[in-house]
Structure 1
Amino acid sequence: MNAVWLAALPAVLLTAGLLRLGARRPRVRRWLPAVAGALLLSALTTLAVVLLFSAPAAAQAPGAGGAGNWAALLGAAIAVAGSSIGAAIAVAYTGAAALAALSERPELFGRAMVIVGLAEGIAIYGLIVAIILIGRA
C-alpha cells in the first residue's frame, strides 16, 4: 500500500504546485484549474484502482527483510531532506551577501567562499547522520 501512495504522490504534489502557480499569475488562472483538477482526478483514480484490486500484503517479522527498519530509513530521509533544505537556504543568503561584498571589495573572495562552504557543510552533516542511521538499520 505504501507504493500506491508513493505512485500517486507526484501527481498530487504537481497539482498543488500548479494551483499555487495559478494563484500568483493572472494569465494562467484561466486554464490552470482544469489541468490541476485532471491531475488530481487521475491520481485519485490510480490510488482507488490499486487499492481496490490489489492483493493483501503478507505480514513480515520486524527484523526480517526491509519491513522492520522503516523507522531508521525514514529518519535518514528526514535527515537528508532537512539538512539539504537548510543548506540551500543558508547558501542562498550567504551567497547573496558574498556577491554583494565582492562587488565592493574583490579581495574578500577567499573569506566569502569559506563562509559559503560552511553553509554547504550543513548538508554533509545530514548525509553523515543518514549513513549512520542506515548502517544501524
Structure 2
Amino acid sequence: MREFLRRHRWAAVLLTVANLVLLTGVVALLIAVLTADWGFATGHDGAAASQAAQAGGESSGSALLGAAIAVAGSAIGAGVAVAYTGAAALAAMSERPELFGRAMVVVGLAEGIAIYGLIVAIILVGRA
C-alpha cells in the first residue's frame, strides 16, 4: 500500500479531497435535518396535523427520515454482507469452480438485505 501511495501520490490526494467533500456534505445535511422545524412544537393537536397531511399540504418529516434511515442502514448492511460473502465465494470458486451456482446464491441473499430496506422505505413513504 505504501508503494502505491508513493507512486500515485496525486491519486491519494484526490481521494482524500473527495472524502473531505463528501464528509462536509453529510455534516451539512445532518445539521439541516437536525435544525429543521418539523412542526411538532407548533401547538397543533394531532387531528389537525393529520387532516393537513391528508389534504396534501405537507408530508410527515419523521416518516421520510425513517425511510432514509431504512435505506441507508440496509445498504450499509448489504455492502458489508456482500463484501464478506463475495470474498468467501471467490475463494471457494478458485479452488472448486463447480461451486459457482451455490456461491452466487449466497451473495444474492446478502444483496436481498438492501431490497428489504427499500421495501420498508416505500411503505413508509406511501403512508407519509
Same fold (TM over 0.5): yes
CA apart distance, 1:80: 0.2
**Other structure's SS at 1:123 match:** helix
Who is 1:97 aligned against?
A: 88
Distance in 2, matches of 1:87 and 1:77, equals: 15
Match of 1:106 among 94, 97, 102: 97
Distance in 1, matches of 2:62 and 2:105, equals: 36
Relative contact order, higher structure (CA 8 A, sep 6+): 2
5+ residue gaps, structure 1: 1-24, 48-58
After the TM superposition, which parts of structure 1 deviate over 6 Å for at least 4 consecutive aligned residues? none
Q: Is structure 2 residue 57 aligned with structure 1 residue 65?
A: yes
Match of 2:113 among 122, 128, 132: 122
Distance in 2, matches of 1:115 and 1:126, equals: 18
Distance in 2, matches of 1:103 and 1:65, equals: 58
In the alignment of these two chains, the number of paired residues is 90
5+ residue gaps, structure 2: 32-41
CA apart distance, 1:65: 2.5
Q: CA RMSD in A?
A: 3.4
**Other structure's SS at 1:109 match:** helix
TM-score by length of 1: 0.55
Q: What amino acid is aligned across from residue 78 of structure 1 in structure 2?
A: I
Distance in 2, matches of 1:117 and 1:65, equals: 41
Q: Is structure 2 residue 73 aligned with structure 1 residue 82?
A: yes
Who is 2:123 aligned against?
A: 132
Q: What amino acid is aligned across from residue 98 of structure 1 in structure 2?
A: A
CA apart distance, 1:87: 0.1
